[in-house]
């Protein structure tokens, strides 16, 4: 039996899904609901997605994000623990990513993700993690 692939959602993927009604990302969540894909993100995502709505005084959007990132909805929220911090330091040392990006990458690796869904072209990833741009989430020949 083939194991279910795990995909990590970067903060920009969550923002796009919530704020843009993106069909490609909706398809990803439908795959997760059908048990065909495991979706993961970090607790750090909450801190990042709330900045804009808090700055804009958009209490409704803050509430939507807090509810969505409380867990469930087919999305596994991983904590930032010592193992993540240690792995992120290695990523920063070897690949040169910034702190928050390294935490996302470390979380993805420790959650056994092989796919990272993100529009951030600055990310430098280890060979075990394949980035899929948000405009290509339905293009399954790009997926490992």
Cα–Cα distance for residue pair 111/84, rounded to 1 Å: 10
Q: Which pLDDT value is given to residue 60?
A: 98
Cα–Cα distance for residue pair 25/4, rounded to 1 Å: 18
Q: Which pLDDT value is given to residue 1?
A: 42
Report the predicted TM-score, pTM, of the whole model to 2 decimal places: 0.93
pLDDT by 10s per residue, the chain, length 144 = 457 899 999 999 999 999 997 888 999 999 999 999 999 999 999 999 999 999 999 999 999 999 999 987 789 999 999 999 999 999 999 999 999 999 999 999 999 999 999 999 999 999 999 999 999 888 877 777
Q: Which pLDDT value is given to residue 71?
A: 81
Angle between helices 11-20 and 23-33 (to 10 degrees): 110
Cα–Cα distance for residue pair 118/10, rounded to 1 Å: 5
Q: Which pLDDT value is given to residue 22?
A: 80
Domains within the chain, CATH numbers bracketed: 5-132 (3.40.50.1010)
């Amino acid at each position: 039996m083939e194991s279910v692939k795990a995909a990590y959602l970067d903060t920009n993927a969550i923002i796009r899904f919530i704020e843009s009604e993106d069909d490609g990302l909706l398809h990803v969540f439908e795959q997760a609901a059908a048990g065909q894909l495991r979706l993961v993100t970090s607790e750090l995502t909450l801190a990042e997605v709330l900045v804009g709505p808090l700055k804009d005084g958009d209490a409704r959007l803050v509430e939507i994000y807090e509810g969505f990132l409380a867990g469930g909805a087919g999305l596994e929220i991983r904590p930032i623990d010592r193992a993540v911090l240690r792995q992120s330091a290695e990523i920063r040392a070897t690949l040169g990513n910034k702190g928050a990006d390294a935490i996302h990458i470390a979380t993805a690796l420790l959650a056994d993700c092989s796919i990272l869904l993100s529009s951030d072209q600055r990310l430098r990833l280890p060979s075990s993690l394949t980035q899929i741009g948000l405009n290509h989430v339905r293009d399954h020949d790009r997926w490992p």
